[in-house]
A and B are shown apart, each in its own frame.
With several copies, the nearest count.
Chain A
């Protein structure tokens, strides 16, 4: 960032001071919590529904016919064009924002998990069949564990997506949130606050990603792969 004039983007050192002030005077935390509430509710819903849809679509023909096209269309249409629709359905409150994050998160979770399910070794499926596993046993013991590596990749995408998707949404009817703070800072040219925001996103991104990879490493400890 050295090549930037300090006016375009504040020097990191100044931003640290600003960040500390915002923290100390209690401004930052409520915004952070507000955003976190939205982001993680959306994340939770998106991950849950994404996995369920991936299971329905990956393991049943009728599920695939019903679900896959809809998800493909959803992800092809920019959020901008969805906002008016969702406002009609859910109003301009929190529900609308969480819904849009939920659908944004759903996309990579669905695509990755679905592909991972489709990529399960046929040998394991044959085994499940000959062992007479029930549908539920098959899902819990074979399909989900087999799709876990793909699911974790999508989770890594999702944990940052839920935050970045929020920036645009926190333009609509909100007085809280990091996105709101960033947008307001842009309106008034407060580059130090923008840099604080970038720092927050970067830290959140690195920490969430590291966390997911930690859980991943534990849950996939059985694997004998290049990355271990």
Chain B
């Protein structure tokens, strides 16, 4: 139904240049039926600002930015969802502190990155442990400062990602939380959301479909060629040592594309967690955050 125009431009906000590299590495980049650009950003807020300014068409974001945008009165419909079953986040404790049970988080100093996926992850961990937010000490920090906060013992537990976890474990004797439950707290979900005006433009709407298809194929390729992808992106592009790359790959579960229907329950859960934590003033219906226009493409290509 949607017709592609090779002159259509599509600006896709990227983070850590993941999208661009994935398309390049899988060979999908050269086959795109439109003129794509992949401006790179650090974090959701700047992307939202650029979205509102009309400088972007769609954006690759983490799990909370679509909710934050909606809370700010800007509904940016989610056009694509991809997820990893096992979270990339890990609760990691400072040197000299080992946590065996999630319940031991009670009374500890926990890093808290407000408005980020790490916040949601932490709240859900406390929920699972039956510990109230009031029973812990929350320390607001920037993502970039988390490893140093653990290293210097400024906080007891932080929500970290690889390669920092492995590195801190090796270097200073930090430790991931050992409770097996910790690996089941939440999956890692990311979204593509779009400016509503873009969805109303036939050319761009078609380009988005084409892009999501390409991305699904690229994800499939990466899942099937984990070593090649790891070398391409982590080792060669991000210049991470082979050891660290191995650590990242080891804890990573495959990338799965989801249709709107599949993604809505988890999204609702995220909304509920944020609402429970007091970060949201009203409890949204996740359903209305999604469009299912591209579900057929996702189903076909994944």
Contact = CB atoms under 8 A, between A and B. Distances in A.
Interface in A164-214: 171-175, 180, 183-184, 186-191, 193
B48 A189 contact: yes
Given A91-B152, A189-B147, A193-B239, A184 B115 contact: yes
Nearest to A189: B72
Contacts of A8: 49, 52-53, 148, 151
B280 to A, nearest CB: 9
Interface in B124-168: 139-142, 144-145, 147-149, 151-152, 154-155, 163-164, 167
A184 B152 CA distance: 22
Nearest to B234: A188
B167 A92 contact: no
Contact of A180 (B55, B140, B171): B140
Interface residues of A, number: 24
A136 interface: no
A99 to B, nearest CB: 14
Contacts of B53: 8, 84, 87-88, 91-92
B154 A92 contact: yes
B41 interface: yes
B19 to A, nearest CB: 12
Contacts of A180: 40, 140
Interface string B190-207: 000000000000000000
A8 B149 CA distance: 11
Contact of B71 (A92, A186, A188): A188
A190 B239 contact: yes
A222 interface: no
A195 to B, nearest CB: 13
A83 interface: yes
B140 A7 contact: no
Interface in B171-217: 171-172
A7 B238 contact: no
Contacts of A88: 52-54, 148, 151-152
Nearest to A184: B114
B68 interface: yes
Nearest to B111: A173
23 contacts: A7-B73, A84-B52, A87-B53, A87-B55, A91-B152, A91-B154, A92-B39, A92-B53, A92-B56, A92-B152, A92-B155, A171-B42, A172-B41, A172-B140, A173-B50, A173-B141, A174-B40, A180-B40, A187-B44, A187-B68, A188-B68, A188-B71, A189-B147
